[in-house]
Amino acid sequence: MPSSVVASIRKALVENSTEKARKSAATFFKEGVKAHGAPSAAYRRVGREHFALVKKLGKAQIFSLCEELLKSGFIEEAIIAYEWADKLRASFQESDFAVFERWLTSYVSNWAECDTLCNHAVGSFMEAYPEYVGRLKKWAKSANRWVRRASAVSLILPARHGEFLADVFEIADILLLDNDDLVQKGFGWMLKEASKLHTKEVFAYIMKHKAVMPRTALRYAIEKMPQEMREKAMEK
C-alpha cells in the first residue's frame, strides 16, 4: 500500500491542478518553485485524506513515505510531507531531529516549506526536547538561507507559549545583521511571537538594537505591541 498511496497523492494533485494556481506559484516565490499547480485548500485536503489511509502505519514507514514525497521536488508534496510529520509529534523521539535536519538541508528550497517543517514539526520537537535548542544556534550561522531562517521559525511555537526567551534573544543576536530579507522576516516573526507574553523584555531588546536592526525585522517584531511602543521603536 505505501507506494500506491504516494502515486494516489500525485494523481490527485494533478487532477486538482489549475492554470491559475500554477501561474501563481511561479510568480509568488522569488526563487521559483516546482509545482503541480494545485491550490492550497486542495493539496491540504489531499494530504488529510491520504494520511487517514496511512496513520496506522509505524512512524518509520510514514517518514519513509514523506521522504518519497520530498524527493519529487514538488512544493505541494513537500507541504504534505511536513504536515504529516507534525501529525506524529506525540511520538517524536530524539533520533527524529537528525531526520528533520536532513530534510531541511536536503529538500527545503523556499520559505513556505521552511516554515511548514520548522514552525510545526521542529517546533513541537523543541518543546519535547528543549536540550536541542543549541542546535538551532548552529543553524543560525549556516551559509544556507533556509537553515538560518529555520533557526528562528523553529522557535515560533515555543515562543508563542512563553518558552525559550533567552534562546530567542541569542538567535536574534546571531541573525541581527543578516542581509537576507527572508531571514530578517523570520527572526522578526520569532520576536513578535515572544513579545505576546514577554512584551517588556522584547521591547527592551528592540530598543537596545534598533539602530542596527534591519527595518524589515523591526516592523515584524513590533507588530503586536501597543501603539505607544511601536511608535517609540520606529523613531529615528
Where along the chain do its domains lie?
A: 1-91, 113-236
Residue holding cell 511601536?
230
pLDDT tens digits along 20-63: 877 787 777 777 788 898 988 999 999 999 999 999 999 999 99
Under 8 Å CB-to-CB from 129, ≥6 apart: which residues?
A: 92, 94, 97
Better pLDDT: 1 or 138: 138
Q: Which CATH architecture has domain 113-236?
A: Alpha Horseshoe (1.25)
CATH, domain range 1-91: 1.25.10.90
pTM, to two decimals? 0.94
Q: Among residues 161, 169, 153, which one has the least CA distance to residue 213?
A: 169
| pLDDT of 29 | 76
CA distance between the termini of the chain: 61
Q: What is the pLDDT of residues 131-156, one digit of tens each?
A: 999 999 999 999 999 999 999 999 99
Is the separation of the CB atoms in 128 and 89 below 8 Å?
yes
Paired with 74 in beta bridges are 34
CA angle 149, 150, 152 (to 5 degrees): 75
**How does residue 9 score in pLDDT terms, banded at 50, 70 and 90?**
very high
